[in-house]
Amino acid sequence: MGFAGVAAVAAGYHHTLVLSTEGAVFAAGRNQLGQLGVTTPQKQAEPVRVPLPAQAAQVAAGYYHSVFLLSNGTAYTAGWNQYGQLGDGTREDRRKPVRVPLAEVLVGVAAGFYHTAFLTEG
């Protein structure tokens, strides 16, 4: 699979995210709305690596969206965005992770059915 240990796991409605101890993120499951963070639209029975610009520190999964907190305090999201749950200021679904435009340093993320929460430093 490409990693030695698992640091965290998050599960959405039809997808799963795995954060390795090295900070890489792998995703598996359905990808019809881009929730895996990779451009292939089909199901992924085997985990695929999510392309992120830095190591991840935390992952969260909502209904059909994913949230990636990076070690540098920024967050990226991917997937279904009908209600703005990706936090990128649009309602466009994203098949590749997009940076959440927050100026604050983030220290935590959480995702629910149709929403995402970002915890800032301080």
pLDDT in tens, 50-95: 999 999 999 999 999 999 999 999 999 999 999 999 999 999 999 9
Across residues 34-55, what is the average pLDDT? 94
pLDDT above 60 for 116: yes
What's the average model confidence in pLDDT over 8-29?
97
Confirm if 78 and 86 have CB atoms less than 8 A apart.
Answer: yes
CA distances 117 to 59, 73, 98, Å, are: 12, 14, 16
CA distance 4 to 83: 36
Q: What is the pLDDT of residue 1?
A: 53
* The token pair that represents 69 in the structure block: 């907190």
Integer-rounded Cα Rg, in Å, for the chain is 13
The percent helix, strand, coil of the chain (3-state, each to 5) is 0, 45, 55
Residue 2 pLDDT class (50, 70, 90 cuts): low
Q: What is the mean pLDDT of the chain?
A: 95
